[in-house]
């Protein structure tokens, strides 16, 4: 396995302060949900605040993309058998990163298109662009992933839970198409991760299984 020696110290610090970091994630998630549910109220009563958030809509979309791609890295590293400790560090907070990613993506969607469209009466099929359709599709695909990102759902669904989480692969395709219509740089990053996903699974299916028939697939 390819390793990054100095990452041992980083991982040790992340483990040591794990609970503090989890609390930070929780605070950000609660704040994000507050921003979502107050969106229509802000549009009507605090327009300046709404505009301030909406103006950062594209940056929030980019942040959501980077958070999403980060959640995919441990699986890619594991299937390629590289950077095990980096992957383990991300896994410590992967669920929280995924939850925050969905919330940030919802803020991006609501403030850039949904709330303004509804409040100005321009919400409908004739006003929806391909970019918005693809963005909404990715959120719809990720919704069950987000709703089941907890221990209760994992226990309830059992082995089927991992299949729900693997919807992220389909979301990645929709997200790539969405960002391709928005930003070439973001699309390039998404494409690289998409290709790494494909090649990492090919590595498992066509190479690892030949060398080790009993090898299990890592999600």
Total domains present in the chain: 1
Confirm whether 215 is domain-assigned. Answer: no
Which carries the bigger pLDDT value, residue 218 or residue 3? 3
Confirm whether 28 is domain-assigned. Answer: yes
Confirm whether 46 is domain-assigned. Answer: yes
HEC profile of the chain: CECCCCHHHHHHHHHHCHHHHHHHHHHHHHHHHHHHHCHHHHHHHCHHHHHHHHCCHHHHHHHHHHHHHHHHHHHHHHHHCECHHHHHHHHCCHHHHHHHHHHHHHHHHHHHHHHHHHHCCCCCHHHCCHHHHHHHHHHHHHHHHHHCCCHHHHHHHHHHHHHHHCHHHHHHHHHHHHHHCCCHHHHHHHHHHHHHHHHHHHHHHHHHHHHCCCCCCCC
| Mean pLDDT of all residues in 44-48 | 94
Q: Cα torsion for 130, 135, 136, 138, to the nearest 10°? A: 130
Q: How would you class 158 by CB atoms within 10 Å of its CB: exposed for 0-12, middle for 13-18, buried for 19 or more?
A: exposed
Asked if pLDDT for residue 217 goes beyond 50, the answer is no
Confirm whether 52 is domain-assigned. Answer: yes
Confirm whether 216 is domain-assigned. Answer: no
Cβ atoms of residues 172 and 194 within 8 Å: yes
Query: What digits encode the pLDDT tens for the residues 97-148?
Result: 999 999 999 999 999 999 998 898 877 666 678 888 999 999 999 999 999 9
**Domain interval for residue 91:** 7-208
Query: What digits encode the pLDDT tens for the residues 57-68?
Result: 989 999 999 999
Query: What digits encode the pLDDT tens for the residues 52-95?
Result: 999 999 899 999 999 999 999 999 999 999 999 999 999 999 99
Confirm whether 213 is domain-assigned. Answer: no
Name the pLDDT band for 216 (thresholds 50, 70, 90): very low
Asked if pLDDT for residue 192 goes beyond 80, the answer is yes
Q: ∠ CA 130-127-66 to the nearest 5 degrees?
A: 40
Name the pLDDT band for 206 (thresholds 50, 70, 90): confident
Confirm whether 76 is domain-assigned. Answer: yes
Confirm whether 2 is domain-assigned. Answer: no
């Amino acid at each position: 396995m390819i390793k990054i020696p100095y990452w041992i110290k980083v991982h040790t610090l992340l483990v040591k302060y794990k609970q503090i970091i989890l609390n930070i994630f929780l605070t950000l998630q609660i704040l994000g949900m507050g921003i979502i549910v107050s969106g229509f109220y802000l549009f009507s009563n605090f327009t300046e605040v709404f505009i301030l958030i909406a103006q950062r809509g594209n940056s929030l979309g980019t942040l959501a993309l980077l958070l999403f791609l980060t959640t995919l890295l441990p699986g890619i590293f594991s299937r390629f058998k590289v950077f095990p400790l980096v992957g383990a560090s991300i896994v410590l907070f992967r669920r929280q990163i995924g939850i925050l990613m969905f919330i940030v993506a919802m803020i991006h969607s609501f403030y850039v298109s949904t709330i303004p469209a509804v409040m100005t009466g321009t919400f409908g099929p004739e006003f929806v662009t391909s970019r918005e359709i693809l963005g909404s599709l990715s959120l719809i695909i990720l919704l069950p992933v987000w709703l089941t990102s907890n221990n209760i759902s994992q226990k309830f669904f059992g082995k089927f839970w991992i299949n729900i989480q693997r919807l992220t692969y389909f979301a990645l395709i929709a997200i790539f198409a969405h960002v391709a219509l928005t930003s070439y740089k973001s699309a390039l990053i998404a494409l690289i991760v998409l290709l790494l996903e494909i090649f990492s699974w090919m590595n498992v299916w066509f190479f690892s299984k030949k060398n080790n028939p009993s090898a299990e697939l890592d999600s």
